[in-house]
Amino acid sequence: MALYPQQNAHRSICDLGGLWSFQLDPQEIGEQQGWFRTLPSPRSIAVPASWNEQFEDTRDYLGVAWYWRRVTVPPAWRGQRIMLRFGSATYAAKVWVDGKPVGSHLGGHLPFEFDISTSVSWDGPTIIAVQVENKLSPTRVPPSATNPELIANTFPDVTYDFFPYCGLDRPVLLYSLPPLHITDATVVTAIDGADGVIEVSVATSDKWNGRGVLRLETGSDPLTADLTFKNGTAQAALRLRKARLWSPDDPYLYPLSIALIEGDKVRDAYTLDIGIRTIEVRGDRLLLNGQPIQLRGFGRHEDFPVHGRGLDLPVLIRDHALLKWVGANSYRTSHYPYSDEAMAVADREGFLIIDEIPAVGLLFDDSEQAVATRLATCKQQISDLIARDKNHPSVIMWSVANEPSSRGALRGNTDSGLEFFMELLAHARAQDSTRPALLVGEQRTERSWIAQADVITVNRYWGWYILPGQIDKAVAQLARELDELHAATGKPVIIAEFGADAVAGTHSEPPQMWTEEYQAAMLKAYLDLAAARPWIVGLHVWNFADFKTGQGTHRALGINHKGVFTRDRQPKMAARFLRSRWAEGR
């Protein structure tokens, strides 16, 4: 799962995006009645896309639904390993190929795949059927609440403030691999003076004992190194003189190719685009390539009208163009991992990413067994996320949770939340020691939890939810709080969310809440506060663009209006203010 499918002389890809057959199954009878062979009365649905906004009767539906289509596997693939990969299925999926169960998966937003080599038909079309559901449960991540006080009071009723989109939101790919193939590669870069050091670990199928070659394209003479495999693993290092370092100002990528060689024949090959860079926390500063860096950017959502959270490449490109226009250099994947394609664009365009698992709104108000189940799920999500994104230079930090609530966390003498996050952060660091790990707290998050992270990261809405309409008083209170946090921990601080709702086109003088003027004034006050504190190393406005939520009295039209762009990506006054500050330096 670590390597994205690639088309080359040894591997092939068939994109299964397009129109699939689709059927709701609220009575959950499809599996008993063999819907994995044929649907009774299917309609067409677009893949990739969420199902919620494609039809009138699916908007709030979170139950079981079925996807189904015929696929012809290329005859030239006979003798190869045939893999079926799903970029995401939210939340739970079961998959059948020609009526045979091939596997299941729990958890949205991360890819999963199955070897279907023995299940496909070579004499005609192969039928692929997928059962998907997104039921809310207190033991899933993100969880539903057992305590009514902890829900968002919206419909659908969730513990988080964004819409619970469902379906096949990312590409579905059929691809082939040679029988002997590269299964994983890990690239770690370091800087030694003016040189770049690239350490590469490679794994193969079949515990292969053979040889391979690394080749780094440098723009002049390539660098090469031999790989000697023992039981399917090998390591090698390359040193590049006067390396061109990856950064937001110069996101330079070097092509690194890996080949498995037997005799004079290449058995498999794979190419990665790598960026040579380092990231570290030193004292109360965040350093990129040994130099202090300030994060300017946003929390974002994968959200757009009609396709919901479905991957839309033109929107993805437009969003990154607008991020550049406004002068941002970073964002957080709030509150779930974004697509493989988004990470690739961030690498190429030079954005710094805080990569977050879907652990939003974690609760500690139920049984120890439920808490343990959620912990195991979070650890698996961290492992899967790091396996997928470890080679992206754009990814600079791992976020293990967003806004966990301390209500109900204390049971007897045991702070279950503190134990939970100490273990979760330790797990992230054990999986990848080259990047800082953090968790993002809100007002109800215990400070002892946040203090365990490498960077103190908080969401604060002084001037909106607290002291509404009183920006000066609110920012003064925020300054006191942040000064105390920094004094107590000595660590760098990121304000990962701050902002105000603004309904586009509403204005007032003097500024008042819900107007574009108030939103811009509140952002300015926060930026001014941070400018006087060099240990505040990041400011992420909430949010990049307006996004869909459940229906509720505090979300007009089921939309969170904190975006500095509208949902269809038109700028509000706040976007133009940020551009003047970040891009134009005024």
Active-site residue set: 403, 497
Using DSSP, state whether 573 is helix, strand or coil: helix
The tokens for 233 are 């693993």
DSSP class of residue 208 equals -
Q: Report how far residue 302's alpha carbon sits from residue 109's, in angstroms, rounded to the nearest whole number.
A: 10
Angle at which helix 471-489 crosses helix 516-531, to 10 degrees, equals 30
- Tallying the residues shown for the chain, one arrives at 586
Q: Report how far residue 473's alpha carbon sits from residue 182's, in angstroms, rounded to the nearest whole number.
A: 58
**Buried b / exposed e along 85-99 (16+ C-beta atoms within 10 A):** bbbbbbbbbbbbbbe
Q: Report how far residue 555's alpha carbon sits from residue 146's, in angstroms, rounded to the nearest whole number.
A: 23
Q: What is the dihedral of CA 280, 286, 289, 292, to 10 degrees?
A: -160
Q: Report how far residue 323's alpha carbon sits from residue 339's, in angstroms, rounded to the nearest whole number.
A: 17
392 in Cβ contact with 420 (< 8 Å): no
- Through-space distance between the first and last CA atoms of the chain, rounded to whole angstroms: 45
519 in Cβ contact with 531 (< 8 Å): no
314 in Cβ contact with 284 (< 8 Å): no
Beta strands 352-356 and 395-402, pairing class = parallel
The CB density around residue 57, as the number of other CB atoms within 10 Å, is 8
**What HEC string does 464-529 produce?**
CCECCCCHHHHHHHHHHHHHHHHHHHCCCEEEEECCCCECCCCCCCCCCCECHHHHHHHHHHHHHH
Half-sphere exposure of 470 (CA within 13 A, CB side): 10
Residue with tokens 């079926």: 84
Residue 145, Cβ density class (10 Å: 0-12 exposed, 13-18 middle, ≥19 buried): buried
Nearest one of 271, 280, 284, 163 to 217, comparing CA atoms: 271
Work out whether the CA dihedral 134, 138, 141, 144 comes out positive or negative: positive
The tokens for 23 are 């059927």
